[in-house]
Each structure stands twice: as C-alpha cells, then as structure tokens.
C-alpha cells in the first residue's frame, strides 16, 4: 500500500437541511513536501507530494514555507545544500463570514517520510480480547530508505497479555517499509527515527494523543534530522 501520510484537504460546506444550515466545523489535514535548503539555511524549492492539491492551499502554504529558516546540514563541519521532507498540518477554521475559512499551521516537522508502508495485521487473539495499543518503534533506515533495524521503544496497551505478540507483528511489518530519506549535497543519507503504530478498536482507548517521546501523532519522528527547522511556525496564519 502506497502512502505518504498526507490527507486530501476538503474545504467543503455541509449540505443545508430543510430547516437550518449547520455551523461549519474546523477541518484538519496534513501535507508533505520535499524542501530544498541551501548552505545558508534558505529555502530554494518546495515540491508538494500530493497530486491535485488545491491552489487555494498550495500557494499560500508554499509562499509561507519559502520564508522559513533552517539550520543546514553539514559535511565535515561545513554547511551543505540539503533536501528534507517537511510534514505540515493545517487547520481550516470557519471565519463566520459566509463559507470562508482561515488557515492556520498547527504542526510542522521534518526528516525522512513514509514511502511504501503496509500496516501490521491485527492479531486475532488481541482483536478478540479487544486489546488496543500504541507502539513506538526505534527504526534505523539506510540511504536507500530501507529499514536495517527496528525495535520497540515503548508500548502502551489496554492489557498486557498480548503485548509481545503485538510487538512481533509490528516489527515484522515495519521492517518491510520504505522511507524517503533526506539528502545532503545531492546524496541520500541514513537516519534514526521513531515510528508510532496504533492498534485501534471502536470504543476502546487508542492512546493516539499519547505524547511520550514526542510522538503524539502518526508521522515518523527524526531523532537527529540533517536539516533543522529554526522558524517557530506553530500558530502561523496563511
């Protein structure tokens, strides 16, 4: 299954009923872009991975990202041009004026990104016992984006009986995943990342808001990204 962990951004208006039109709700979506940074930390190019991305989102988002400042990657202590994968989560909030929405950045992180992933199979015994869990894996990827090592860094679950089984299934699945690595001076590089995986059931706590190890979301988290985002972007309006 091919995933970049980016969601289609729907700025849709709820259909009017015969009595009253419901108030529009805030909408949230994430976008992934390859961002090129020069040796001075300035953005030189932004390429969003999502096909068919609306210009109403892409243009203001790209314009804003081009003004961000990064700490460039280094080779032998010298700054070098680099490419990093930037994940940005945007919230569209109703303005109260017609169907207009205001866009605000609520999260941004960079490093390697998901390329080809297949979620682990939910073990039948864990499913029958309604065991939900959130695992965070410590993963090493090589310059080709392939997983060379994966271990369970942390696990939270609604029961302890099946944690070993869940860990085994998750490691087996993640070991087959591939990632889009960062590049330094035109060459892809390996990385150490944390990868969260959720086993969720309706009506059972899923720990999706668990912020342990800084992994409150579902995206991979680079422990030491080659390129460091310096600009504080959370809360920025587009």
Whether the per-residue pLDDT at 209 is higher than 80: the answer is no
CA distance 190 to 183: 9
Q: 210: which residues sit within 8 A by CB, 6+ positions away?
A: 134, 156, 216
CA distance 28 to 94: 12
pLDDT for residue 160? 77
Locate 203 and state its tokens. 């009506």
Q: What is the pLDDT of residues 2-37, one digit of tens each?
A: 444 333 333 333 333 344 566 678 888 999 999 999
Q: Are 113 and 85 in contact (CB under 8 A)?
A: yes
% of the chain surpassing 90 pLDDT: 60
Nearest 5°: the CA angle 183, 186, 191 is: 20
210 — pLDDT class (breaks 50, 70, 90)? very low
Evaluated on CA atoms 56, 60, 66, 71, the torsion sign reads: negative
Whether the per-residue pLDDT at 193 is higher than 90: the answer is yes
Q: What is the pLDDT of residues 177-188, one digit of tens each?
A: 999 999 999 999
Please give the full DSSP string across 46-80, using - where no structure is assigned. EEE--TT--HHHHHHHHHHHTT-BEE-EEETTEEE
Q: What is the pLDDT of residues 114-143, one digit of tens each?
A: 999 999 999 899 888 888 899 999 999 999
What number is the average pLDDT over the span 87-108?
88
CA distance 121 to 173: 8
């Amino acid at each position: 299954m091919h995933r970049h962990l980016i969601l289609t951004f729907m700025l849709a208006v709820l259909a009017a009923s015969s009595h009253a039109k419901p108030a529009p709700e805030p909408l949230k979506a994430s976008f992934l872009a390859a961002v090129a940074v020069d040796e001075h930390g300035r953005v030189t190019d932004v390429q969003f991975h999502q096909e068919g991305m609306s210009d109403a989102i892409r243009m203001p988002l790209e314009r804003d990202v081009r003004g961000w400042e990064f700490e460039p990657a280094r080779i032998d202590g010298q700054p070098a041009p680099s490419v990093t994968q930037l994940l940005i989560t945007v919230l569209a909030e109703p303005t109260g004026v017609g169907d207009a929405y205001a866009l605000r950045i609520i999260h941004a992180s960079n490093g390697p990104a998901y390329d080809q992933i297949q979620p682990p199979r939910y073990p039948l015994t864990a499913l029958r016992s309604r065991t939900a869990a959130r695992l965070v894996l410590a993963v090493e990827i090589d310059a080709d984006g392939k997983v060379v090592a994966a271990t369970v860094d942390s696990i939270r679950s609604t029961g302890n009986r099946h944690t070993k089984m869940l860990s085994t299934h998750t490691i087996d699945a993640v070991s087959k995943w591939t990632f889009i690595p960062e590049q330094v001076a035109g060459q892809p590089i390996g990385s150490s990342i944390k990868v969260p995986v959720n086993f969720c059931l309706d009506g059972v706590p899923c720990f999706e808001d668990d912020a342990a190890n800084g992994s409150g979301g579902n995206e991979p988290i680079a422990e030491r990204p080659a390129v460091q985002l310096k600009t504080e972007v959370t809360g920025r309006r587009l």
